[in-house]
Amino acid sequence: MADARVLWVTGAGSGMGRAAAVACAGGRRVALSGRRQDRLEETARLVESAGGEALVLPLDARDGDAVARAHATLRSAWGRVDDVVLSAGLNTPRRTWADQSTDEVRAVLDTNLTAAVLVVDAVLPDLRVAGGQVVVVSSYSAWRFTPYAGVAYSASKSALRALCQTLNAQEAAHGVRACHLCPGDVDTEFLALRPQVPDESARSVMLRPEDVGRAVAFVLASPPGVRVDELVISPVAQV
């Protein structure tokens, strides 16, 4: 697969990141990052079963030095990065001004926003050469205000829209494209971080991670002259 396109996915150990890696695996080399090596190894097996080649790069994407080391390892193995899917995310059950912890606010902002900036900054020279795409897995709450999403989460996800817009405005001359992908409710382990965890009935009408994976694959399959600036997908039951 020496000529295969190289995709780097963060948050690849579970949920939407894993689903995106698997959905895009066919004919690609896929680097997988996240904090849980055992979960990344599981994703790697799924990528390989789907026809891709996998490289596991454990890291905390909030750590700029760790991102730089992982990028160097990836380039040493495969020579470049062509596209990136940013799916690492965090929230907290304490989501209001009345009960939030400022330490948790920093953690959410760093995971959802700062980590995305660090990864894009590291790979941007590669993306300029490749005419690459950045797919940022954001949130429905970044597209339409949802009061229950939380102070830090809403602020960080809304800022990802600006991240994508500035990339598109400033890097179009190099063929670089960014998509702000905004899923509605998705049945993943992330739901455990809600103040009231949804029951099986509520989960049954949500999106599946694979729905988001297909959306990512659609974006990455776009011809070089096509940019999907923003894509919102939601379950029919979304209010």
Place of tokens 């002259």: 225
The pLDDT of 17-36, averaged and rounded, is: 97
Q: Predicted confidence band at 1 (pLDDT cuts at 50, 70, 90)?
A: confident
Residue 239 lies in a domain: no
Query: Per-residue DSSP letters for 153-169?
Result: HHHHHHHHHHHHHHHHH
Residue 123 lies in a domain: yes
State how many domains the chain has: 1
Please state, in angstroms and rounded to a whole number, the distance separating the CA atoms of residues 168 and 14. Answer: 28
Report whether pLDDT(70) > 90.
Answer: yes
Model pLDDT, residue 194: 86
Please name the helix (run of DSSP H) or strand (run of DSSP E) that holds residue 86, with its range, or none.
strand 83-86
The pLDDT of 21-46, averaged and rounded, is: 97
Residue 158 lies in a domain: yes
Residue 181 lies in a domain: yes
* Catalytic residue numbers, as ranges: 153
| CATH (domain of 25) | 3.40.50.720
pLDDT per residue over 186-228, tens digit each? 998 877 878 888 899 988 999 999 999 999 999 999 999 999 9
The pLDDT of 114-133, averaged and rounded, is: 98
Residue 226 lies in a domain: yes
Residue 238 lies in a domain: no
Report whether pLDDT(7) > 90.
Answer: yes
Is there a contact between 193 and 148 (Cβ–Cβ < 8 Å)? no
What domain range includes position 116? 5-233
Residue 130 lies in a domain: yes
Query: Per-residue DSSP letters for 168-210?
Result: HHHHGGGT-EEEEEEE--B-SGGGGGSSS---HHHHTTSBPHH
How far is residue 24 CA from its own chain's centroid?
13
Residue 28 lies in a domain: yes
